[in-house]
Amino acid sequence: MNFPLVGRQLGLLLIVTSASILAVATWSCGEVLWGNTDELQPLRALMLTVAIGSLCGAGLWFGMRGKAEAIGRREAILLVALSWFIGAGLAAIPFWLWAAMAEDAADHPFSSFVNCYFESMSGLTTTGATVLTEVSSLPASLLLWRSVTHWLGGLGIVVLFVAVLPILGVGGKRLFRVEAAGPTPEGVTPRIQEAARMLWMIYLGMTVAEIVALKLVGMTWFDSVNHTLATLATGGFSTHNASVAGYRSVGVDLVILVFMVAAGVNFGLYYQVIRGRWRSAYRDTELRWYLALLGLGTVVVTNCIYNQPYATTTGETAAAGLGSALRYGAFQVVAVQTTTGFCTADFDQWSFVAKTVLLGLMFVGGSAGSTGGGVKVIRCLMAVKIMWAEIEHVFRPNVVRPVKIGSATIDQDMKLSTIVYLLGIAMLTVVGAIGLMMLEGGGSLDVTTAMTASIATLNNIGPGLAKVGATCNYEWFTDPSKYLMIVLMALGRLEVLTIIVLFFPRFWRSD
């Protein structure tokens, strides 16, 4: 294991993160210069963090010289895993410093560092679970930084690395492999750097488009920017206590819905479209199933909540009628399956069937290669086909029928790793729920809350049911539970294996 090399890259990560914080600080500085004194304290916190981050980063970068060889597979894995834990650590500091320095923030959740770390890990993993009850009590620049963590995490700090900083050389491809979520039978492109740069441009383009669109439907620039960063990363942090419903605008709901759907699509398909291969994008199997599931979920949920009483997240009773049911049903289905986790309705009040559908979709998640979490549509699709083939194998042991996704045949190794992954996620969900129940003191946490908190963090969704429902938050958990959920969020975002391997002694042994 080439530790100096890993250390050097982590130094770079700290510098890049500090630069992002600096960008937010610059905006904050502008506010202060134009007379908004509320931003003075957060500005101090941000600037201090920039200083800490860039000093540590520079120290690591220049201190860890090491051999300039190409990054190996194990180094790449270690780097990706550490990136999220260390990145989240730095990203948490502005919150914590602000709460420590501000006079009026004595009882603020951010007085405790674990809350800050939970919030920043939730941001970077694009989970969107929050410890804040009064979101709007946070200064504007910290709200912005909170949203920026989403955006940075969204397409992956590492993809950013690959696209912007072609320093890693051959390591770039390896990193991308580890990072790009889920198995893609076709791959994105062999020319990984060009692709990463392109993906980055697409992400940026979509960001600009959504900001403008949200502004056009009546949001302030500040809120547009924040919600855009959270939407495209399938994150879910809002600047409004009542999340998206706080705007009471069909236009806002619709724009965000459209961009959530877009964020859950494999970004490789946009790349193909830009390169003129409309056809292959249009005929993509996963895309079709992804859209079909969203459609089917919407139909079922809308049917369940049609003319049933339930509250929106603002606390008002949702209007009766099909239009309203479709509005809230479609939004919540999309928000949950794409693992964004924005809320307009308190779906905890919905019928058992509707909640079951939402829970199922939470597991499925977005497409591979999107910013969405969950186990990914293509894995579910493969699992169904593999199980189908296994069942047929029982009564026709001599018939060998290849399992195909589109035109690509899934080989035996990929079959096994897909099913193992799904079984692993199922086990982790249960282990997470049991762990939460134990840490909270057996019996004091109900099973629904424990299970959905585990699902919502492991699949990077945000809200769950019962005590972690649409109108609730995660502050009330004990610190050990929060640490467990921090690990669950990272596990989910990094496809589990990236972190699990670190606990294998063999991983650390030299070849």
Binder of a copy of itself out of 248, 275, 283, 396 (CB under 8 A): 396
**Nearest residue to 119 via CA among 436, 377, 462:** 462
Residue 216 engages a copy of itself in binding (rule: CB under 8 A): no
Which of 415, 475, 478, 480 lies at the binding interface for a copy of itself (CB under 8 A)? 415
Strand partners, 409: 404
What is the distance between the alpha carbons of residues 329 and 467, in angstroms, rounded to a whole number? 21
Secondary structure of residue 496 in the 3-state scheme: coil
Among residues 86, 101, 258, 383, the one that binds a copy of itself under rule CB under 8 A = 383
Cβ-contact 306, 431 below 8 angstroms: no
* 390 lies in the site for a copy of itself, by CB under 8 A: yes
Q: Which of residues 481-500 bind a copy of itself (CB under 8 A)?
A: 497-498, 500
Other Cβ atoms closer than 10 A to 2: 18
Our finding on whether 507 is near a copy of itself (CB under 8 A) is yes
Contact positions with a copy of itself (CB under 8 A) in 75-114: 77
Cα(129)–Cα(126) distance, rounded to whole angstroms?
9
Element (H, E) at 409: strand 408-409
Q: Which is nearer to a copy of itself, 125 or 448 (CB)?
A: 448
Span of 106-114, 294-302, 435-443, 454-462 interacting with a copy of itself by CB under 8 A: 435-443
Residues 348-377 that bind a copy of itself (CB under 8 A): 351-353, 356
What distance in Å separates the CA atoms of residue 490 and residue 481, rounded to the nearest whole number?
A: 14
Residues touching a copy of itself, count (CB under 8 A): 45
Residue 510 makes contact with a copy of itself by CB under 8 A: no
Output the smallest distance, CB 316 to a copy of itself, in A.
Answer: 23
The token pair at 496 is: 């589990």
Measured from the CB atom, is 194 or 390 closer to a copy of itself?
A: 390
Q: With binding defined as CB under 8 A, does residue 74 bind a copy of itself?
A: yes
Q: Check residue 501 for interaction with a copy of itself (CB under 8 A).
A: yes
Give, to the nearest 10 degrees, the angle between helix 73-101 and helix 140-154. Answer: 170
Per-residue burial over 297-320, b = 16 or more CB atoms within 10 Å of its CB, e = otherwise: bbebbbebbeeeebbbbbeeebee
Binding residue for a copy of itself, selected from 391, 402, 404, 476, defined by CB under 8 A:
391
Phi-psi region of 443 (alpha: psi -120 to 50; beta: other; left: phi over 0): left
Work out how close the CB of 429 gets to a copy of itself at its nearest, in angstroms, rounded to a whole number.
10
- In whole angstroms, the minimum distance from the beta carbon of 177 to a copy of itself comes to 10
Nearer Cβ to a copy of itself (299/438): 438
Helices (H), 217-351: 221-232, 250-263, 267-274, 278-282, 285-305, 322-337
In three-state secondary structure terms, 344 is coil
Nearest-angstrom CA–CA distance, 143 and 137: 9
Query: Does 34 engage in binding with a copy of itself (CB under 8 A)?
Result: no
Sites of contact with a copy of itself (CB under 8 A): 73-74, 77, 351-353, 356, 383, 386-387, 390-397, 412-413, 415-417, 419-420, 422-424, 426, 434, 437-438, 442-443, 446-448, 451, 497-498, 500-501, 504, 506-507
